[in-house]
A and B are shown apart, each in its own frame.
Chain A
Amino acid sequence: MKLWIDGTEVTAQVGQTVLEAALAAGIYIPHLCYHPDLHPQGGCKLCVVEIEGEDQVVTSCTTPVREQLRVVTKSPRLAQLRKASMELMLAGHPGDCTGCRSFGNCELQAMMQYLPAVANGELRTFRRKNADWPANDPLIVREMERCIQCGRCVRACRDLRGVGILDYHHSEGEMYVGTEKNVPLLDADCRFCGACVEVCPTGALQDREGIFRKDLPREQALIPCQAECPAHIDIPGYLYAISQGDYAGAVDIIREKVPFPLALGHVCTAYCEKGCKRRGLDQPLAVRDLKRFAVEHDDRQIWRSRHVPFSSTGKRVAVVGAGPCGLTAAYYLALKGHAVTVLERYPVPGGMMALGIPAYRLPREALMGEIAEITAVGVTLKTGQNVTSITELKEDYDAVLAAVGAAQGKRLPLAGANDSQCVTALEVLRSVSLTGSHPLLGPGRRVTVLGGGNVAFDAARTALRLGAQVRVVCLEDRDHMLADEEEIVQAGEEGAAVCPGRHNLELVAEDGTITALRTERITGFRFTPGGLEVDPVPGSEELFPTDVVVFAAGQKSDLTPAFGLPLNQWGYPEHNGCATAVEGVFTAGDAVTGTKAVIDAIAAGRDAAREMDLYLGGDGCIDPPPAQRKQKDPCIGKQEGFARLHRTHAGVRDPEARKGCWDKVDLGYSKEQAKTEAERCLSCPLRTQIGVSELWTAYLPK
C-alpha cells in the first residue's frame, strides 16, 4: 500500500506500523522504546507523528499503516513533545556520560545528539530512590540510575525468552524496572541469556567486565567458547543437540571442523571451557566430557554422508608426520580430491596422541578408529618412513607438508643430566607406548620427574603404573603449576609425591651412580636473558633420594639443515603463514610453534590444508557441507534453579584399581548426566540473533 511521509511517497506492507514503514524507507523517526524484535509499547513518546486530518498526535510505533495516510514527522509541536519526553527520561539519568561503559554505543546518548534541545543546563534533575540494586549479580551489571524505563528488557525477558522475571514495579512513589521484591537475578531464576543487556538502549544493563573479550569482533566475542576454540567448533550447537539426545547430530557438527572428535573428547585442553560465559556464574560447561559422550553414543554417524571426497584433482601431496596436524591436513586435502600420502617415522600413526599421551588418558582403540576414518577417505598412510630430506619428496609430489612436530625432549642444565640414569619424559612415554615398558622404570625404582606440566604428569603416572615410586618436582608453586588440575589431583591420589616451588641444585652421585637430587624451596623465579633466577628460602635445602631422573622440561624441534628447510635461530623452519622458503613445501603445527595442545595442532592442520589447496589450484574451502541443525527455540522459558545447576562430574576409576592398569581413568557420563550438563549451557548464540535498533546516523538526512 502507499502512504505519504513528510511528502514522500512510501510503499508499505499491510500490518506494518508507520514507524516501521518510515524506517524501511530510510526516513528516520526518533525512537527509544521501539525495538525491531519487540512488541511496540508506545512508551517513550519520541516517535510521535502528526496525521493529516487528525488533531491528536500519535505514536508511530503503535499506529498501523493505512492507504493514503499522510504523515508528518517534523513540526514545532512534535519537537516540543519530544523534548518533554527526553527531559523526563533524562531527569533521573546521570548528567555525565564519561563514567559510563556504554559511551559511544548508547542509544540515549545518540538521541541526545539527534534531539540536542535537551543538552540544557536548566534540565531538572532528581535522584532515583530505587536505583540501588543488589550489586553482586553475576554476569550482569545493573546501574539502574541509568534506566529510562523504556521496558525493552521487560519485553525481551518476557516475550523473546519466555522467562519474565523483569517487570515494572512501584515503590516510594516511583516506578522502576526490576525483579519481583528486588531479589538478585540468581534467586529470580534468571537464565543469564543476556537478552536484556542486548536490548538495553543505555548503560543501565551491562555485561560484567571480563566476560567477553574486547579484542574480538562483537559477534564472535559474544560466543566465547567458539571464539576460544582454535578450530572454532560450533560448541553451543552441539551442546544443544546433546541436550536433545541427538548425539549423531552433535558429532556431525563437531566434525565440521575436526577429524578427531573422540580423541579431543578424551584429551582436549578445552580452551572453550576457559572462555565459557558460565564460568562467571558457577563453573564452565564440561564441554570436553560432553564431546566424548556424544561420540561414544553416536550410533548413526550421519556425518559420513557429508564427508565425501571431491573428484580427483590429479595432484599429489606428501605429508611428513602422522600427528594430529599432519593427519588433519591430510584428511581435508583428501576430501578436496588430492591424492595424499602420509609418511610416519614410527611404526604407529598418531604422533604425540599415540606416543606421548598415555593410554589411560587416550585409549588407543579410540584413536586408531579415528585414524581409520582418515584412511577411509583415501589417505595413504605409510609408517616406518623416516624422511630425512624434503628435497627428494619434492620431486614426486606437487606439494609437501612438514608436520614433524617437536619430537625431542629437552634436559635441564644440571651436571649429570646426560647420565644413563637420566631420561626425557618423551623417551619414557614413547617407549611405554610402543613396547609397554622402559628399561629404567619398574617396581621399586625411585623416580623423580622434573617439570610441572601435563607431560610431567603423564610420565609420572606412567612410571607409577610400572610400579615405581614417583616424585614430581617443579619451580612453580602449587597454584601456578602448568598441568591440568585433574592431572595433579589424580597423580596425587595414585601415590605420586608432588613437590612444587622447588629449584634443582644438583644431582648427587656416589661412585658414579646418581643417588639423590638436591633441591631448595623458592618463593619466586623468572627467566632472564642471563638464565633462570630464583628467590631461594634460606636453609630449605633438601635431598630427594632417587634412582632415575625424568626431564619433562619441554620439547624442541629435531630438524637439521639437512632436512632442506631454512631454519631460524631456535631451529624451527622459517615460514610465512604455512609456506616455507621452499616453493611447494609447507609446514605447520608443533614443528613451527613448539609444543602445543592437540587442538592447536588440528587447527594448524586446517590452516595448512587451506593454504595448500589454494596452492594446488583449489578454492581453499576445506569445510565439508554444514551439518543440519535443529535451532534452539529462543523462547527458552523459566527454569527453576537453573543458575544453580552446578557442573556434572563423571565418575573416575578408584585410585588403587587404576594404578595397576592402563584403562581410561575417567568413566564418562551417563545419558542423564550428559543431558543435565548440556542443558546448563547459557545459549550465548541466541543473543546474536537479536536484531539491531539502528541509530539516526544510519539514515541519510532528508
Chain B
Amino acid sequence: MKQMDADIIVVAAGLSGLAAAIAAAEKGASVIAFEKAATTGGAANMGMGPLGVGSRKQREQMVALTPGEAFRKHMFFTHYKVDARLVRDYYFKSGDTIQWLERMGVQFVGVQRAFGAPEATRPYSDGEFTWHVVRPEGGGVPGPRAASAMIKAMTEYALDLGVQFAFETPVKEILMENGEAVGVRAVDKTGEEIECTGGAVIIATGGFGCNPKMIQEETGFEFGKTIFNFAVPGMEGDGLKMAWAVGAGKTPCTMELMYQLPDNMNHFILDGAFRQPCLWVNRMGERFMPEDQIGNTTFTGNAISVQPGKVAYAIFDEALLEHYKKNGPDIISHVHPHDLFDHFDDMWERDLAAGYEPIAQADTLEELAQKAGIDAAGLRRTVEDYNRCCEKGYDEIFEKDRAYLQPIGRGKLYCCRQNVGAYGSLGGILINHRTEVMTKDYQVIPGLYAVGTDACNIFGDSYPFILSGNTMGFCLNSGRIAGENAVDFALVEA
C-alpha cells in the first residue's frame, strides 16, 4: 500500500477533471488526478468545442446573446425542472471560461450552432451561436477531434502548474471520516493499492455509457437492443457508484439521446445517407414527425424512442437517390463526409451482400415492408397519402417543408432502420450550485464535489441543443467551479 496526499484529489482527468485540477492548482493547491486511461481528455478527445456565452470571441462575431438570456432560454427549455441557481452560475461563468482557455493557448475558430432549424420551425428549435469550436493548430477547417488541441493545452498547463497525474490508476473508493470525504483508494496497473488523503475529492468520471447493466437499471434502455449509444471504454459509472456508496443523493439519470444505425461506425456512409428528409415511418408504416426536423438529432432520437419497438425507417427511391447523388444531400451534418453519395453504391452493395440487418431493398412496397418488418397495409396507405401531398406540394399532416416533398415509388426502393442512439449518460449525483455533493436530504457531504456528466442534472429530459456545446460547456464550467470551491474548503479546513 502506497500513501500519497494532496490538497485536492481529482477522480478522472477528462475535460471536467482537467478543468477542476487546473482551477484548484491556480489557487495554489497541490493536486493529484487519478485517471483510468493512459492519457487525459476522456470522451472530450472526440469533441469539437465547448459552449460559452458572453465571451469576447462571441461578441467579436456580433453575437449579442447574454448569459442572462441564455439562462432564461435554458430554463424555458427545461421547464424550470432543474436547479436554476446552478444553471445561472454555469452560464455566467461560461464566457470567462473561454478567455481562461485562451490564456492557456487554446484558440477558437469562432462560434457556431450545431443545428439550424428550417425557417418555419425556427421559433421552436433554433440553435444559438454558443459553440466555441477549437481551431486546429496551424489553421484549417475543424473536424471531429478538434477539441483534442484544447485537451493538450490544458494538460500541458496543468503539468506546468504542478498537477500530478496518475495514469492507468482507477480510483476504487472514496474514503470518509466523520461524514467527510478525506481521500480515495486507488489501484495502479500493477495491482498496488494507493491510499491518497486530501482536503477535498472531486468526482469527474464521465457517467456510465459503457456499462450496459447500469444503462438498463438507471434508464430502462437495453444496450444493443433499444439503444445504440457511444460506449467509450472506461465510462463504467465508477464515480456515481462511489458517490452513492458514501451517501450521495441520487438524481434520475438520462441518456443523451440522438439516433443512429447499429454499428454505425462500420456503416458510416449509410448512417449519413439515410439522415435525409425523405419518407420516415414507424413499424406501423405511419409517419411520426415532419421529416424536415430530422437534422435535429435530439428531437428525432426522442421521437424514435416513443415509437413501437423504439425504431423508425427512412425510405427513399431510385429517383431521390439520383437527386442526392447529383445535388448532394438535402441535409448536411457536421459529422458525416459531405461526399456521402459518391460512395453510396459501393457501401450499399457491400452491406446488402453481407446481410447487414437494418437495410432492405425492394421493387415494390409490399416486398419492402416484408423485408424491413413494416406493416404492409399501413405503409401502402401512408405512401398513397404522402404521394398525394407531394403532388399538391402541401403536407396535410405535418406541414413538412415543401422543398423535401418528393414522392416515393420511382424505381427501386431503399430502406434503412433507424435506432435510438446516445452520446453517454447524464446525471446521477445530487449537487448544489457550488458542485458540492449532497445527500438525498440535501445535506452537503463536506469535502466531496461532483462535476461533468456524473453530475449534469441540468438538462432535464433532453440535450438543450438550442444552446450548443452544452455537454462540454457544463463539464468545463462545473469542473472549474468545483476546483475553486474545493480549494476554499480545503484551505479553510486546514
Interchain CA distance A228-B423 in the complex, whole Å: 35
Chain B residues 401 to 436 lying within 8 A of chain A, measured CB to CB, are none
Q: Report if A119-B142 is in contact (Cβ < 8 Å); known contacts: A104-B38, A104-B234.
A: yes
B167 touches A697 (CB 8 A): yes
B148 CB contacts on chain A under 8 angstroms: 109, 112-113, 116, 119
Q: Report if A98-B143 is in contact (Cβ < 8 Å); known contacts: A112-B45, A117-B136, A117-B137.
A: no
Beyond the given A95-B144, A116-B152, A117-B136, please list 12 additional residue pairs across the A-B interface where CB-CB is below 8 A: A97-B46, A99-B263, A102-B233, A103-B37, A103-B45, A103-B233, A109-B148, A113-B39, A121-B142, A121-B146, A127-B343, A697-B39
B145 touches A97 (CB 8 A): yes
- The residues of A with any CB-CB pair to B shorter than 8 Å are 79, 83, 94-105, 109-110, 112-123, 125, 127, 216-220, 695, 697-698, 700-701
Chain B residues 28 to 59 lying within 8 A of chain A, measured CB to CB, are 36-43, 45-46
B265 CB contacts on chain A under 8 angstroms: 94, 96, 98-100
Q: Which residue of B lies closest to A104 (CB)?
A: B37
A112 touches B39 (CB 8 A): no
B188 touches A217 (CB 8 A): yes
Q: Which residue of B lies closest to A227 (CB)?
A: B191
Against A, the Cβ 8 Å flags (1 = close, 0 = not) of B78-115 are: 00000000000000000000000000000000000000
Q: Indicate whether B246 reaches chain A with its CB closer than 8 angstroms.
A: no
Interchain CA distance A217-B144 in the complex, whole Å: 32
B142 touches A113 (CB 8 A): no
B189 touches A218 (CB 8 A): yes
B45 touches A217 (CB 8 A): no
Pairs A–B under 8 Å by Cβ, sample size 13: A94-B265, A96-B144, A96-B268, A98-B46, A98-B265, A103-B232, A104-B39, A105-B37, A113-B152, A119-B148, A120-B140, A219-B190, A701-B156
Q: Which residue of A lies closest to B42 (CB)?
A: A104
Q: Which residue of B lies closest to A95 (CB)?
A: B144
A116 touches B136 (CB 8 A): yes
A99 touches B230 (CB 8 A): yes
Q: Which residue of B lies closest to A688 (CB)?
A: B190
B145 CB contacts on chain A under 8 angstroms: 97, 112, 119
B233 touches A105 (CB 8 A): yes
A697 CB contacts on chain B under 8 angstroms: 38-40, 155, 159, 165, 167
Q: Indicate whether B311 reaches chain A with its CB closer than 8 angstroms.
A: no
A120 touches B45 (CB 8 A): no
Q: How far is the CB of B250 from chain A (nearest CB, A)?
A: 23
A120 touches B160 (CB 8 A): no
A116 touches B187 (CB 8 A): no
Q: How large is the interface on B (under 10, 10 to 19, 20 to 34, 35 or more residues)?
A: 35 or more
B137 CB contacts on chain A under 8 angstroms: 115-117
Q: Indicate whether B168 reaches chain A with its CB closer than 8 angstroms.
A: yes
A700 CB contacts on chain B under 8 angstroms: 159
Interchain CA distance A698-B189 in the complex, whole Å: 15
Q: Which residue of B lies closest to A698 (CB)?
A: B167
- The residues of B with any CB-CB pair to A shorter than 8 Å are 36-43, 45-46, 134, 136-138, 140-149, 151-152, 155-156, 159-160, 165, 167-168, 187-192, 230-234, 263-266, 268, 335, 337, 343
Interchain CA distance A102-B37 in the complex, whole Å: 9
Give the 7 A-B residue pairs with the shortest CB-CB distance, closest first: A104-B37, A121-B143, A116-B149, A121-B141, A99-B265, A217-B191, A98-B230
Q: Which residue of B lies closest to A699 (CB)?
A: B159
Query: Which of B40, B143, B149, B189 touches A95 (beta carbons < 8 Å)?
Result: B143
Query: Which of A83, A112, A695 touches B38 (beta carbons < 8 Å)?
Result: A695
A105 touches B38 (CB 8 A): yes
Query: Which of B167, B189, B335 touches A96 (beta carbons < 8 Å)?
Result: B335
Interchain CA distance A97-B151 in the complex, whole Å: 15
Interchain CA distance A102-B188 in the complex, whole Å: 18
A104 CB contacts on chain B under 8 angstroms: 36-39, 42, 45, 232-234
Q: How far is the CB of A271 from chain B (nearest CB, A)?
A: 18
A127 CB contacts on chain B under 8 angstroms: 343
B187 CB contacts on chain A under 8 angstroms: 217
Q: How far is the CB of B177 from chain A (nearest CB, A)?
A: 18
Q: Report if A110-B38 is in contact (Cβ < 8 Å); known contacts: A79-B138, A98-B46.
A: yes
Query: Which of A115, A118, A217 touches B190 (beta carbons < 8 Å)?
Result: A217
Q: How far is the CB of B106 from chain A (nearest CB, A)?
A: 10
Q: How far is the CB of A674 from chain B (nearest CB, A)?
A: 31
B151 CB contacts on chain A under 8 angstroms: 113
B191 touches A120 (CB 8 A): no
Interchain CA distance A104-B155 in the complex, whole Å: 14
Which of A98, A100, A115, A119 is packed against the most chain B CB atoms within 10 Å? A119
B149 CB contacts on chain A under 8 angstroms: 113, 116, 119
Interchain CA distance A435-B369 in the complex, whole Å: 75
B337 touches A125 (CB 8 A): yes
Q: Report if A110-B337 is in contact (Cβ < 8 Å); known contacts: A103-B233, A118-B136, A119-B146.
A: no
A113 touches B36 (CB 8 A): no
B46 touches A96 (CB 8 A): yes
Q: Which residue of B lies closest to A701 (CB)?
A: B156
Q: Report if A113-B337 is in contact (Cβ < 8 Å); known contacts: A96-B144, A120-B143, A697-B165.
A: no
Q: How far is the CB of A41 from chain B (nearest CB, A)?
A: 23
A120 touches B232 (CB 8 A): no
Q: Which residue of B lies closest to A114 (CB)?
A: B152
Q: Which residue of A lies closest to B156 (CB)?
A: A701
Q: How far is the CB of B344 from chain A (nearest CB, A)?
A: 13
A109 touches B45 (CB 8 A): yes
Q: Which residue of A lies closest to B13 (CB)?
A: A697
Interchain CA distance A372-B38 in the complex, whole Å: 51
Q: How far is the CB of A214 from chain B (nearest CB, A)?
A: 8
Interchain CA distance A121-B339 in the complex, whole Å: 13
Interchain CA distance A545-B211 in the complex, whole Å: 51
Interchain CA distance A94-B38 in the complex, whole Å: 21
A123 touches B232 (CB 8 A): no
B232 CB contacts on chain A under 8 angstroms: 98, 103-104
B190 CB contacts on chain A under 8 angstroms: 217, 219-220
B36 CB contacts on chain A under 8 angstroms: 104
A103 CB contacts on chain B under 8 angstroms: 37, 43, 45, 232-234
A94 CB contacts on chain B under 8 angstroms: 265, 268
Interchain CA distance A121-B144 in the complex, whole Å: 7
Q: Which residue of B lies closest to A110 (CB)?
A: B39
Q: How far is the CB of A205 from chain B (nearest CB, A)?
A: 15
Query: Which of A95, A97, A120 touches B142 (beta carbons < 8 Å)?
Result: A120
Q: How far is the CB of B32 from chain A (nearest CB, A)?
A: 14
Which of A112, A217, A700 is packed against the most chain B CB atoms within 10 Å? A217
B192 CB contacts on chain A under 8 angstroms: 217
Q: Which residue of B lies closest to A217 (CB)?
A: B191
Query: Which of A122, A125, A701 touches B141 (beta carbons < 8 Å)?
Result: A122
A112 CB contacts on chain B under 8 angstroms: 45, 145, 148
Q: How far is the CB of B194 from chain A (nearest CB, A)?
A: 11
A216 CB contacts on chain B under 8 angstroms: 191
B136 touches A120 (CB 8 A): yes
Q: Which residue of A lies closest to B334 (CB)?
A: A121
Q: Which residue of B lies closest to A94 (CB)?
A: B265
Q: Which residue of B lies closest to A97 (CB)?
A: B46
A109 touches B39 (CB 8 A): yes
B144 CB contacts on chain A under 8 angstroms: 95-96, 119
B231 CB contacts on chain A under 8 angstroms: 98
B38 touches A113 (CB 8 A): no
Q: How far is the CB of B110 from chain A (nearest CB, A)?
A: 14
Interchain CA distance A94-B265 in the complex, whole Å: 8
Interchain CA distance A83-B140 in the complex, whole Å: 12
Interchain CA distance A95-B43 in the complex, whole Å: 14
Q: How far is the CB of A142 from chain B (nearest CB, A)?
A: 14
A113 touches B41 (CB 8 A): yes
Interchain CA distance A232-B142 in the complex, whole Å: 51
A79 CB contacts on chain B under 8 angstroms: 138
Q: Report if A101-B191 is in contact (Cβ < 8 Å); known contacts: A96-B265, A119-B143.
A: no
Interchain CA distance A118-B142 in the complex, whole Å: 9
Q: How far is the CB of A118 from chain B (nearest CB, A)?
A: 7
Which of B43, B233, B263 is packed against the most chain A CB atoms within 10 Å? B233
Interchain CA distance A127-B347 in the complex, whole Å: 11
